Amino acid sequence: MVRAITGGVPDRLPVTTHHVMQYFLDRTMGGISKRGFLDHFGFDGILWTVPHRGDPDTGEYPDPSQGEVGFLESQRVSTDEWRIKWKELPDPEYRTVRYTFLTPKGTLSMVLQSNEYTAWVSEYLIKDRRDIDIIGEFVTAPKCDVEAVNLAADEVGDWGIVRGHIPCFDIFGQPGTWQDAACLVGIEKLILAAYDDPAWVHQLLGILHRRKVVFIHSLEGARYDILELGGGDASSTVISPKLFEEFVAPYDSELIALAHEAGQRISYHTCGGMMPMLDLIADMNPDAMETFTPPAMGGDTDLREAKNRIGDRVCMIGGFDQFHFLVGCTPEETRAEVRRCFEEAGEGGGFVLCPSDHFFDADLELLSAFADEARRCTYG
């Protein structure tokens, strides 16, 4: 995978998946570990780790209210001026939790709901435009726990790669700057604000961007193979290329450049449409791009065209339709789809076959066919 990520030609097509969902492991695989799942089906290994640390010299300490670190979370960092409390609320259908952010100049709150599949925001943190002044003054900025990353890298060895992501906002967010803002405001309101009050949107993006810069400056020496940036709220099925150019690229391209200065690689994650802004994303100079979601899944990717346009500039990760070829078809149809992806995007290397983002259901024989056929796709 590292050879493909760096634009080289491996001996065979690398094959993996994005996050392995705990729902699938518990419901279908008897609670097997994520590493056990990858080994069972012959996927190339990925260990996700995002250990954060605070800076005691500036009054930062681990958030005592956090408890178990959840999916896509890391250890939150608190100060006496940025504390989080939470309370579970009664709801007949979903687990519902209100999070309250306590600061010297007021409190902010958000509500998350979740089920066995995923979590979502039901009440956004930013309700008044002045709320960002509180965030800008008091929000903490985690640093990378380099020692913990490197211990993980030692444990992984040659089994697989070590992957993480640029920090999301506390409680709920995404790695990309615009995408993080969408989780705090709501994407509809954020798009309208981009037209009605662009200065306010840039102010918010600047606050979130500075927080991510602090983390990236702390990455030097961390033996990550690749870190994720981006998110679905900057796809072409959500925003226009014009909005991408003004509100996404200026912030995330700088994060990518800083990551490169720190010796790190970046994969830019875009679940949704990509084709109208394919070159805009590549122009930000990430090492890899994902997820290349096909039209049958609600995306728009033409793999062959994408390979022709940007395949010599970045590694392409994804492209496989898990909705139609990991459930409800024959192994032969799964294998044929693997071959199609390889023929359209595999030439010259720089391609990692992967489902287009998460899957929650899959037929076991089709997962086996998917991984096995990919390993049969070799480079002469």
- pLDDT single digits (tens) 234-252: 999 999 999 999 999 999 9
> Does position 70 have pLDDT exceeding 90, yes or no?
no
Domains recognised in the chain with CATH numbers:
2-53+142-376 (3.20.20.210)
- pLDDT single digits (tens) 303-329: 999 999 999 999 999 999 999 999 999
Q: Which of 244, 238, 111, 249 lies closest to 184 in space, CA to CA?
A: 111
Helix residue ranges per DSSP H, 262-295: 278-283
- pLDDT single digits (tens) 106-146: 999 999 999 998 899 999 999 999 999 999 999 999 999 99
CA 30: distance to chain centroid? 26
Which residue type is seen at 148? A
| Element housing 181 (H / E) | helix 177-185
Q: Which residues are within 8 A (CB) of 102 and not within 5 positions of it... i.e. 6 or more apart?
A: 82, 83, 84, 85
Q: Which of 71, 317, 285 lies closest to 173 in space, CA to CA?
A: 71
Whether omega before 28 lies within 30 degrees of 0, making that bond cis, reads no
Which residue type is seen at 231? G
> Does position 153 have pLDDT exceeding 80, yes or no?
yes
Q: What one-character-per-residue DSSP string does 145-161 give?
A: -HHHHHHHHHHHTTSEE
- pLDDT single digits (tens) 244-295: 999 999 999 999 999 999 999 999 999 999 999 999 999 999 999 999 999 9
What pLDDT sits at residue 69? Answer: 77
What pLDDT sits at residue 203? Answer: 98
In this structure, is the dihedral angle defined by the CA atoms of residues 267, 270, 275 and 278, taken in order, positive or negative? Answer: negative
Rounded to the nearest 10 degrees, the angle between the axes of helix 303-310 and helix 331-345 is 30
What pLDDT sits at residue 72? Answer: 65
In terms of pTM, does the model score above 0.75? yes
